[in-house]
Amino acid sequence: MKPASDPGRLIIVSAPSGGGKTTLCRALRQRMPDLGYSVSFTTRPARPGEQDGVDYHFIDLDDFEKGIAEKRWAEWAVVHGNLYGTSADFLRQALVAGQDVLLDIDVQGTRQLLAHFPDSLTIFIEPPSMKVLAQRLAGRGTDDPQTVARRLRDAEQEMAQRELYRHRIINGRIEATIETLVALVEKERATGRKEG
Protein backbone atom coordinates (compact mmCIF):
# COMPACT_ATOMS: atom_id res chain seq x y z
CA MET A 1 0.00 0.00 0.00
CA LYS A 2 1.31 3.45 -0.89
CA PRO A 3 1.57 6.46 1.45
CA ALA A 4 -1.55 8.68 1.45
CA SER A 5 0.53 11.54 0.03
CA ASP A 6 0.93 9.64 -3.26
CA PRO A 7 -1.96 10.02 -5.67
CA GLY A 8 -4.00 6.91 -6.33
CA ARG A 9 -4.11 5.06 -9.62
CA LEU A 10 -6.94 3.65 -11.70
CA ILE A 11 -7.03 -0.10 -12.30
CA ILE A 12 -9.30 -0.70 -15.28
CA VAL A 13 -10.61 -4.19 -16.05
CA SER A 14 -12.61 -4.78 -19.24
CA ALA A 15 -14.00 -7.87 -20.93
CA PRO A 16 -16.74 -8.76 -23.37
CA SER A 17 -20.12 -9.50 -21.80
CA GLY A 18 -19.86 -12.99 -20.30
CA GLY A 19 -16.07 -12.73 -20.07
CA GLY A 20 -16.03 -13.05 -16.27
CA LYS A 21 -14.95 -9.53 -15.27
CA THR A 22 -17.58 -9.16 -12.51
CA THR A 23 -16.45 -12.41 -10.84
CA LEU A 24 -12.78 -11.47 -11.27
CA CYS A 25 -13.23 -7.95 -9.89
CA ARG A 26 -15.15 -9.31 -6.91
CA ALA A 27 -12.30 -11.75 -6.16
CA LEU A 28 -9.71 -8.97 -6.55
CA ARG A 29 -11.60 -6.78 -4.08
CA GLN A 30 -11.80 -9.64 -1.56
CA ARG A 31 -8.03 -10.17 -1.78
CA MET A 32 -7.25 -6.41 -1.67
CA PRO A 33 -9.73 -4.80 0.74
CA ASP A 34 -7.87 -1.45 0.62
CA LEU A 35 -8.66 -1.14 -3.09
CA GLY A 36 -11.36 1.39 -3.88
CA TYR A 37 -14.16 0.29 -6.19
CA SER A 38 -16.17 2.50 -8.48
CA VAL A 39 -19.77 1.28 -8.66
CA SER A 40 -21.03 2.27 -12.10
CA PHE A 41 -24.32 4.04 -12.71
CA THR A 42 -26.64 2.48 -15.28
CA THR A 43 -30.07 2.87 -16.84
CA ARG A 44 -30.48 -0.88 -17.34
CA PRO A 45 -32.83 -2.77 -15.02
CA ALA A 46 -31.34 -4.83 -12.21
CA ARG A 47 -30.89 -8.55 -12.85
CA PRO A 48 -32.09 -11.06 -10.25
CA GLY A 49 -29.84 -10.89 -7.18
CA GLU A 50 -28.26 -7.52 -8.05
CA GLN A 51 -28.36 -4.82 -5.38
CA ASP A 52 -28.57 -1.08 -5.95
CA GLY A 53 -25.39 0.62 -4.75
CA VAL A 54 -23.50 -2.69 -4.64
CA ASP A 55 -23.57 -4.06 -8.19
CA TYR A 56 -24.63 -0.81 -9.87
CA HIS A 57 -26.39 2.42 -9.06
CA PHE A 58 -29.63 1.94 -11.01
CA ILE A 59 -31.02 5.28 -12.21
CA ASP A 60 -33.53 6.36 -14.85
CA LEU A 61 -32.69 7.84 -18.23
CA ASP A 62 -33.63 11.42 -17.25
CA ASP A 63 -31.30 11.29 -14.24
CA PHE A 64 -28.46 9.91 -16.34
CA GLU A 65 -28.90 12.54 -19.06
CA LYS A 66 -28.97 15.26 -16.40
CA GLY A 67 -25.62 13.86 -15.19
CA ILE A 68 -24.20 14.20 -18.71
CA ALA A 69 -25.32 17.83 -18.90
CA GLU A 70 -23.83 18.53 -15.44
CA LYS A 71 -20.55 16.72 -16.30
CA ARG A 72 -21.01 14.28 -13.40
CA TRP A 73 -19.50 11.37 -15.35
CA ALA A 74 -15.74 10.79 -15.68
CA GLU A 75 -16.74 8.52 -18.57
CA TRP A 76 -20.02 7.28 -19.96
CA ALA A 77 -21.11 5.05 -22.81
CA VAL A 78 -24.05 3.34 -24.44
CA VAL A 79 -23.61 -0.43 -24.05
CA HIS A 80 -26.17 -2.96 -25.33
CA GLY A 81 -28.73 -0.15 -25.57
CA ASN A 82 -28.28 1.07 -21.96
CA LEU A 83 -26.26 3.96 -20.52
CA TYR A 84 -23.39 3.35 -18.10
CA GLY A 85 -21.22 5.93 -16.34
CA THR A 86 -18.54 6.48 -13.69
CA SER A 87 -18.86 9.21 -11.06
CA ALA A 88 -16.22 11.90 -11.60
CA ASP A 89 -16.52 13.09 -7.97
CA PHE A 90 -15.90 9.61 -6.57
CA LEU A 91 -12.76 9.13 -8.68
CA ARG A 92 -11.38 12.57 -7.86
CA GLN A 93 -11.86 12.15 -4.10
CA ALA A 94 -10.39 8.63 -3.99
CA LEU A 95 -7.34 9.44 -6.12
CA VAL A 96 -6.54 12.63 -4.20
CA ALA A 97 -6.73 10.59 -0.97
CA GLY A 98 -4.11 8.23 -2.43
CA GLN A 99 -6.46 5.30 -2.97
CA ASP A 100 -6.11 3.00 -5.98
CA VAL A 101 -9.51 2.50 -7.60
CA LEU A 102 -10.76 -0.55 -9.49
CA LEU A 103 -13.13 0.03 -12.40
CA ASP A 104 -15.09 -2.66 -14.23
CA ILE A 105 -15.89 -0.83 -17.49
CA ASP A 106 -16.08 -1.35 -21.24
CA VAL A 107 -13.69 -0.36 -24.02
CA GLN A 108 -15.49 2.94 -24.75
CA GLY A 109 -15.13 4.00 -21.12
CA THR A 110 -11.49 2.95 -21.01
CA ARG A 111 -10.68 5.19 -23.99
CA GLN A 112 -12.31 8.16 -22.27
CA LEU A 113 -10.51 7.57 -18.97
CA LEU A 114 -7.10 7.05 -20.56
CA ALA A 115 -7.40 10.52 -22.09
CA HIS A 116 -7.42 11.92 -18.51
CA PHE A 117 -5.52 9.19 -16.63
CA PRO A 118 -2.88 7.84 -19.06
CA ASP A 119 -0.94 5.99 -16.34
CA SER A 120 -3.93 3.77 -15.50
CA LEU A 121 -3.30 0.05 -15.18
CA THR A 122 -5.42 -1.48 -17.98
CA ILE A 123 -6.31 -5.18 -18.15
CA PHE A 124 -8.43 -6.88 -20.81
CA ILE A 125 -9.99 -10.25 -19.95
CA GLU A 126 -10.40 -12.49 -23.01
CA PRO A 127 -12.46 -15.66 -23.37
CA PRO A 128 -10.53 -18.71 -24.63
CA SER A 129 -12.60 -18.52 -27.84
CA MET A 130 -15.79 -17.00 -29.23
CA LYS A 131 -17.39 -20.47 -29.01
CA VAL A 132 -16.71 -20.61 -25.25
CA LEU A 133 -18.05 -17.07 -24.84
CA ALA A 134 -21.27 -18.03 -26.68
CA GLN A 135 -21.68 -21.02 -24.35
CA ARG A 136 -21.14 -18.84 -21.27
CA LEU A 137 -23.65 -16.22 -22.43
CA ALA A 138 -26.28 -18.84 -23.26
CA GLY A 139 -25.58 -20.63 -19.98
CA ARG A 140 -26.30 -17.51 -17.90
CA GLY A 141 -29.95 -17.76 -18.87
CA THR A 142 -30.46 -14.00 -18.45
CA ASP A 143 -30.83 -13.05 -22.13
CA ASP A 144 -32.98 -14.13 -25.05
CA PRO A 145 -31.24 -15.52 -28.19
CA GLN A 146 -31.35 -12.14 -29.99
CA THR A 147 -29.65 -10.42 -27.05
CA VAL A 148 -26.99 -13.15 -26.89
CA ALA A 149 -26.34 -12.69 -30.63
CA ARG A 150 -25.97 -8.91 -30.15
CA ARG A 151 -23.61 -9.41 -27.21
CA LEU A 152 -21.46 -11.73 -29.35
CA ARG A 153 -21.29 -9.14 -32.16
CA ASP A 154 -20.32 -6.49 -29.61
CA ALA A 155 -17.72 -8.88 -28.14
CA GLU A 156 -16.01 -9.22 -31.52
CA GLN A 157 -15.74 -5.42 -31.77
CA GLU A 158 -14.37 -5.17 -28.21
CA MET A 159 -11.84 -7.97 -28.81
CA ALA A 160 -10.62 -6.11 -31.89
CA GLN A 161 -9.63 -3.21 -29.57
CA ARG A 162 -7.80 -5.25 -26.92
CA GLU A 163 -4.44 -3.75 -28.02
CA LEU A 164 -5.56 -0.61 -26.17
CA TYR A 165 -4.83 -2.47 -22.92
CA ARG A 166 -1.40 -2.85 -21.34
CA HIS A 167 -2.18 -6.38 -20.14
CA ARG A 168 -4.38 -9.16 -21.49
CA ILE A 169 -5.42 -12.31 -19.60
CA ILE A 170 -7.23 -15.28 -21.11
CA ASN A 171 -9.98 -16.48 -18.76
CA GLY A 172 -10.00 -20.25 -19.23
CA ARG A 173 -10.30 -21.59 -15.67
CA ILE A 174 -11.64 -18.92 -13.32
CA GLU A 175 -9.48 -19.99 -10.32
CA ALA A 176 -6.26 -19.72 -12.34
CA THR A 177 -7.39 -16.44 -13.88
CA ILE A 178 -8.04 -14.96 -10.43
CA GLU A 179 -4.50 -15.89 -9.33
CA THR A 180 -3.00 -14.34 -12.49
CA LEU A 181 -5.02 -11.14 -12.07
CA VAL A 182 -4.20 -10.78 -8.35
CA ALA A 183 -0.46 -11.35 -8.98
CA LEU A 184 -0.44 -8.78 -11.79
CA VAL A 185 -2.22 -6.10 -9.75
CA GLU A 186 -0.05 -6.79 -6.67
CA LYS A 187 3.11 -6.40 -8.75
CA GLU A 188 1.90 -3.19 -10.39
CA ARG A 189 0.82 -1.67 -7.09
CA ALA A 190 4.14 -2.58 -5.46
CA THR A 191 6.24 -1.01 -8.22
CA GLY A 192 3.85 1.87 -8.92
CA ARG A 193 5.36 2.32 -12.33
CA LYS A 194 4.01 2.26 -15.84
CA GLU A 195 4.92 -0.75 -17.96
CA GLY A 196 5.08 -1.09 -21.73
- Asked if residue 59 belongs to a domain, the reply is yes
- Asked if residue 32 belongs to a domain, the reply is yes
Domain count, the chain: 1
CATH number, position 158 = 3.40.50.300
**Whole-number percent of the chain with pLDDT over 90:** 77
- Asked if residue 73 belongs to a domain, the reply is yes
Q: What angle do CA 113, 53, 188 make, to 5 degrees?
A: 40
Say whether pLDDT at 196 is over 70.
no
- Asked if residue 3 belongs to a domain, the reply is no
Say whether pLDDT at 18 is over 90.
no
Confidence of residue 195 (pLDDT cuts 50, 70, 90): very low
Q: What angle do CA 167, 89, 154 make, to 5 degrees?
A: 40
- pLDDT at position 193 is 46
- Asked if residue 1 belongs to a domain, the reply is no
- The string of pLDDT tens digits covering residues 104-154 is 999 999 999 999 999 999 999 999 999 999 888 888 877 788 888 988 999
- Asked if residue 80 belongs to a domain, the reply is yes
Domain around 93:
10-191
Alpha carbon 25 to its chain's center: 8
Strands laid side by side in the 57-58 sheet = 57-58, 41-42, 82-87, 73-79
- Asked if residue 4 belongs to a domain, the reply is no
Its pTM stands at 0.86
- The string of pLDDT tens digits covering residues 21-42 is 989 999 999 999 999 999 999 9
- Asked if residue 166 belongs to a domain, the reply is yes
